[in-house]
Structure 1
Amino acid sequence: SGSSKVTRALVEALRAFSSPKWWLIGKEEGKAETPARKRLKPEEFQQKCAERHAQMRKVYESTMMQDSEQRWLRKVCSEGTAGDRIASLTMLSQVCPVFATGWITALLTMAGKTARSDAMMALDALKDLFVNTLLPDRKLKTLSQMDPIAPKGLNKVTWTQITVVSFFEDYLKTAFAGFVHVLSEAAHSSVAFFKTKSIRTAHELLAAKPEQERALLALLVNKFGDHTAKVSSNVSFHLKQLLKAHPGMKPIVVREVEAFLMRKNITPKSQYCAILHLSEMVFSKQDGEAAARLIKLFVTRLEQALAGGAGPS
């Protein structure tokens, strides 16, 4: 029958999404297309992406429910201990990332709960998931930033790949921003362990992937203002480690610390920690921009001090 043919075609299309490197799905086919392709209106493209993702996810879920291991994992997600639920949600998210939106959202919900031990486990699981499975080595795009190509001239599998992957990337960008927000909330906990944990996680994410770079760096630098000495010293340590791995980030780090120092009502202790870190930065011949900016910052701070504390103090 016609409906069975459609179902078989959809199931066949699922094979295209078996790769864990979702950002590569459909790319080779897309490269073969001419640049003069017809474009849809952005809102129309976004609607089609959402519709096709929902359609394919429904087929995927129906197919997975025929697998006994998948059924067991889903049962654990609703009936197991917090640790078991987190482990099961992580495993389900790794099987086929583009259709894991529900599982990722569930992990984010657990990470944002007040039961801190459970939240920390969920944060750890999400960090590993984002670094090792979900995030590509580039910044993510929203649907509004993508090329709204039309289906005309594309075969159905390629069109399905493009729309499903585009929808997932848009979702993932929002989800990861939510994760960074949860991490920022943990960084403001009254418990030192949670603060140091969130700082370390922010550093690991910054070192591994470019997504949310500015927000993660701000999270780190802001903790120079923490009243706990161990926390503020950890910030300097992690920033040094970050620059060892990515020396090209020195100008960005200098700018972020400069912005921190320009705030009103910054405490002398916070100011000292930030300036001490900057004074310990090591520059090479390639770091002329960052070094010049740092010298200018030091001169400005000195002038403010000699003028009797004009400006932030």
Structure 2
Amino acid sequence: QDYLMLCAVDEAEEMVDGGKKDAIDDLKEGELEAFVSSLGLRKYAQSCLVVEGEEEGGGGSEGKEKPPKKEKSKKETSAPSLEGKKEKKVKEKASGVKDSKKKQAGSDQDQHISAKKERVEENFEFRARQVILIKPGGKWYELEYTDEFSSEPQNQMLLSKYKALAQKLYQHETELYKNKTDYQKGASSAWMKTVVSSGTLADRMAAMTLLIQDSAVHSLQFVENLVNLVKKKGSRHQSLMALDTFKELLISDLLPENRKLRSFSQRPFNNIEKISSGNRDSRDRRLILWYFEHHLKLQVAEFVQALEALSHDSLTATKSRALAVSHELLCNKPEQEKVLLVQLVNKLGDPQNKIATKASYLLETLLNKHPNMKVVVCSEVERLLYRSNINVKTQYYAICFLNQIVLSHEESALANKLITLYFCFFWNCIKKKDVESKMLSALLCGVNRAYPYAETGDEKVKEQMDTLFKVLHLVNFGTGVQALMLLFQVMDSQQTVSDRYYAALYK
């Protein structure tokens, strides 16, 4: 029946790789052969081998008719020699099978490795789609897959291959989105894109904001445009307008609430195929989102550098605006917080008193909003105080900021740290015989405020007790009152207010 069926096949059409020519468009030359070899059927071929001698012996005895009686004696005499020949044949074939098994095992391994390589190469092959993978609308950081990350170091070769694939996927995705919005009936996006390139400054900013809010993932070019406008020199008005626009976008649409942006290398590429369950669409969505977030992180870093440049502008208004933007980002989002904090603290040393005072005020409001940042902010201010090229005025502004920090009894470690810092500078002032400066008053004010919350404050003050009594007779009235307040706090806590203290007080 099989033979008859095959005879009936129309052989007029040319056959290629098991199918009619031009019938399957996406089948490449030799692809079917590679697929069959990757199935590993050769491993099981050995168990199906049949020895011909056994078949002949087994089948012949059953299938043939009994010989006539006359030939019986002849058969009996020739039977032993026939059996010997068959046994010899079987042994030869068995040894041949063993050799062929070894050869086939080696060839199977080679084919398996080559098939595996082909599969890996297929994984990194870019395939263009006709529909977009990331649907517009909503916040991009609330989409699935954006929270996946890995703290383990990733395979660098794997990382570079996935990055190249992600770049192609992202470019294709943005092109698809652009074509879709361009040809959409009744869409205003084409008009908005015209405004972005040739409208007035205010209209350009508004159009870019709307396009980014519609779909941030597909609008990375407009993010880059805004950052470039902030960095562009020559027009302060344009820079400041772009600055405010981009700041609002970062807070409302682009930056996640409770985490920093992650770079491409912080993703779990070692098991991406496992977590996407072999689904190519799922994997490609991940790659597009991760690639977008990586480049958004780079753009935010560039924006923060542009802020730093604006904070050194010659105009006070520009510096003040840059400072306010740094403070607002620091208060609302965790991205680039270390760099922004350093910018704010460094402004305590600004040559213009107005800017230094504003920096101090902004740091104070930051601590009111985020009290857990006290230790981090104090450490950064301490680093500024001990810098080698720092001037006395900057140190004074920094000490004035520190002595305004509101402490609690749970923050005894911070209070101890501050008292040590104050007395270090107090001793420097005494050494320099700079006792009539405002610095001494600020230092003593700081000690007075930190003393009730410190655990080891007594020893620190006792070491300086004699010095404080001597200083009382040299300093101005305000500083003298601060010193007396400190001495009274220490002595009263131990109920040892001495005659020396009262003599100094009445004098």
Q: Would you say 1:150 and 2:269 are equivalent positions? A: no
Deviations 1:144-203 (A, max 9, x none): 122214336242332122111100111111110111111111100110001111111111
Q: Would you say 1:178 and 2:302 are equivalent positions? A: yes
Q: Residues 175 and 29 of structure 1: is their aligned pair in 2 closer, same or farther, counting only changes over 3 Å?
A: closer
Query: Aligned to 1:151, what secondary structure does the other structure show?
Result: helix
Q: Residues 286 and 45 of structure 1: is their aligned pair in 2 closer, same or farther, counting only changes over 3 Å?
A: farther
For 1:77-226, list aligned pairs within 5 A: 77-114=196-233, 115-137=235-257, 138-148=259-269, 149-151=271-273, 153-226=277-350
Q: 1:48 aligns with which of 162, 165, 184?
A: 165
Any stretches of 5+ residues in structure 1 without a counterpart? Answer: 32-37
The alpha carbon displacement at 1:7 in A equals 4.1
2:182 is matched with 65
The alpha carbon displacement at 1:270 in A equals 1.2
1:35 is matched with none
Q: Residues 294 and 29 of structure 1: is their aligned pair in 2 closer, same or farther, counting only changes over 3 Å?
A: closer
1:255 is matched with 379
What is the one-letter code of the residue matched to 2:292? F
Q: Output the aligned Cα RMSD.
A: 2.6
RCO higher in structure (CA 8 A, sep ≥6): 1
TM-score (structure 1 length as normaliser): 0.88
Query: Aligned to 2:261, what secondary structure does the other structure show?
Result: coil
Q: Would you say 1:288 and 2:412 are equivalent positions? A: yes
Q: Residues 258 and 28 of structure 1: is their aligned pair in 2 closer, same or farther, counting only changes over 3 Å?
A: closer
My pick for the range that moved more, 62-71 or 128-137, is 62-71
Q: Would you say 1:23 and 2:147 are equivalent positions? A: no
Q: Residues 125 and 28 of structure 1: is their aligned pair in 2 closer, same or farther, counting only changes over 3 Å?
A: closer
What is the one-letter code of the residue matched to 1:207? C
Any stretches of 5+ residues in structure 2 without a counterpart? Answer: 1-23, 27-126, 150-154, 434-438, 440-507
- Contact 1:20/1:97 (8 A) holds in 2: no
Q: Would you say 1:298 and 2:422 are equivalent positions? A: yes
Query: Aligned to 2:405, what secondary structure does the other structure show?
Result: coil
Q: Residues 214 and 29 of structure 1: is their aligned pair in 2 closer, same or farther, counting only changes over 3 Å?
A: closer
Between the aligned residues of both structures, percent identity stands at: 30
Query: Aligned to 2:320, what secondary structure does the other structure show?
Result: helix
- Contact 1:19/1:25 (8 A) holds in 2: no
Q: In structure 1, how many angstroms separate the alpha carbons of the residues matched to 2:226 and 2:358?
A: 27
Q: In structure 2, how many angstroms separate the alpha carbons of the residues matched to 1:82 and 1:242?
A: 33
Deviations 1:33-68 (A, max 9, x none): xxxxx9982222222222221221111111121243
Deviations 1:196-243 (A, max 9, x none): 111111110001000100100111111111121111111111111111
Aligned positions, number: 299
Q: In structure 1, how many angstroms separate the alpha carbons of the residues matched to 2:427 and 2:161?
A: 56
Query: Aligned to 2:351, what secondary structure does the other structure show?
Result: coil
Query: Aligned to 1:150, what secondary structure does the other structure show?
Result: helix
Q: Residues 42 and 289 of structure 1: is their aligned pair in 2 closer, same or farther, counting only changes over 3 Å?
A: farther
Deviations 1:270-304 (A, max 9, x none): 11111100011001233334333322322332233
Q: In structure 2, how many angstroms separate the alpha carbons of the residues matched to 1:28 and 1:201?
A: 27
2:104 is matched with none
Q: In structure 2, how many angstroms separate the alpha carbons of the residues matched to 1:271 and 1:257?
A: 9
Deviations 1:2-35 (A, max 9, x none): 89x9644x23x232xx24321232239979xxxx
- Contact 2:148/2:267 (8 A) holds in 1: no
Q: 1:243 aligns with which of 358, 362, 367?
A: 367
Query: Aligned to 2:209, what secondary structure does the other structure show?
Result: helix
My pick for the range that moved more, 281-290 or 74-83, is 281-290
TM-score (structure 2 length as normaliser): 0.55
Q: Residues 278 and 72 of structure 1: is their aligned pair in 2 closer, same or farther, counting only changes over 3 Å?
A: same
